[in-house]
Amino acid sequence: MAVVQTSRLHFHVRVSGSPDGVPLLLLHGSHATSRWWEPLFAILPDSIRAVAPDLRGCGLSTHTQDGYEIKEQAEDIAELVQALALSDFDLLGHGSGGAIAIEFALGHPQGLRSLILVDSAPVEGAFTPLQGLQLLSQMREDRSLLRRGLSALLPTASPPTMTQLEFESFFEQLVDDAAAMAPAAFTAVAEALGRWNRLEDAHRLTLPTLLLLGSEDIIIERDSATRSLLAIPGASNLEILRGVGHSPMIESPVVLAERIIDFITEDFESFEEARDYAQENARYPDSSRGHG
């Protein structure tokens, strides 16, 4: 792992691929770390320079009591991008990392080539009821409960790249990582998603966007993912990964790698019309609305 110091955070970052490869920045979801991308890294070709940080409060990056609002975490990523001198890069977000990716794309579109949202929090945010927050808080002290919660995120594991014994060891590392999170982060990200809503601003997401959703995902509802599809002009389709749960980077890394490679190697000419249309309507928003 590499270490990157910014004015906001001390980042630990996993990297794979050739230094001169196509840059791909990956943001993990809640109760995760960059370790979740390891099965995918084992599949991606050397021609893709994959960079995956531990986000605030996770893994070996800085643990804090606050700073978990989605906009704050997007600013964390903006400084990381600057420190790494990334340009013309593709950005992938998983789960709550998808919300951070959306927020980053809205606030810092320069230098960003495309957006990939994998089982992402919807563009309208996500509300976690009090009972759910209490359950997340209990996970801090109850490893058995934490194991069950993480297991539900990857129901079709283990990945084809690991033996069952290797996966069991890998999964225990995921549990260890989650248990070692900053205490505040256990509930703060879920609470932040309840306050975050970019539905009205999504018309500005005109860059090419790939939406992927596991058919067995129990976290992200298909209806909410469809609303994100309809709200984001750069997204042409919601692709359903059959027989996959919330975490395709672990459950089905080969399929996910194929979709990523196919997408980021497109020339994106087909997206020009959608971009132009969305930008025109962003300038004249009332012109596209009917009158009741």
Q: Sort residue 31 into left (φ over 0), alpha (ψ -120 to 50) or beta.
A: left
| pTM metric for this prediction | 0.91
The mean per-residue pLDDT over the stretch 184-209 comes to 97
| Tokens representing residue 133 in the block | 């927050």
Query: In this model, does residue 257 exceed pLDDT 90?
Result: yes
Query: In this model, does residue 288 exceed pLDDT 80?
Result: no
- Count the neighbouring beta carbons within 10 Å of the beta carbon of residue 135: 15
Instruction: Please report, as a single letter, which amino acid is at residue 106.
Output: L
CATH of range 2-288; options 3.30.565.10, 3.40.50.1820, 3.30.70.100, 3.40.190.10: 3.40.50.1820
- Comparing C-alpha atoms, which of 239, 225, 208, 21 is closest to residue 120? 225
- Comparing C-alpha atoms, which of 26, 41, 20, 24 is closest to residue 90? 24
The mean per-residue pLDDT over the stretch 154-166 comes to 88
What are the C-alpha distances in Å from 139 to residues 175, 181, 203, 253? 10, 11, 37, 27
**pLDDT-based confidence at 280, cuts 50/70/90?**
low
The count of residues in the chain is 292
**pLDDT-based confidence at 275, cuts 50/70/90?**
very low
The mean per-residue pLDDT over the stretch 53-71 comes to 97
Per domain, the residue ranges of the chain are: 2-288
Query: In this model, does residue 286 exceed pLDDT 50?
Result: no
Percent pLDDT > 70 in the chain is 91
For residue 30, the number of C-alpha atoms closer than 13 Å in the C-beta half-sphere is 32
Instruction: Please report, as a single letter, which amino acid is at residue 92.
Output: L
Looking at residue 267, its pLDDT comes to: 62
User: What is the DSSP code (8-state) at residue 130?
Assistant: H
Positions of E strands within the chain: 2-5, 10-16, 22-27, 48-53, 89-94, 112-118, 209-214, 235-241
Looking at residue 146, its pLDDT comes to: 97
Instruction: Please report, as a single letter, which amino acid is at residue 257.
Output: A
How do 10-16 and 48-53 pair as beta strands? antiparallel
Query: In this model, does residue 183 exceed pLDDT 80?
Result: yes
**pLDDT-based confidence at 161, cuts 50/70/90?**
confident
User: What is the DSSP code (8-state) at residue 219?
Assistant: S
User: What is the DSSP code (8-state) at residue 30?
Assistant: T
Distance of CA 168 to the CA centre of its chain: 24
**pLDDT-based confidence at 281, cuts 50/70/90?**
very low
- Rg from Cα positions in the chain: 18
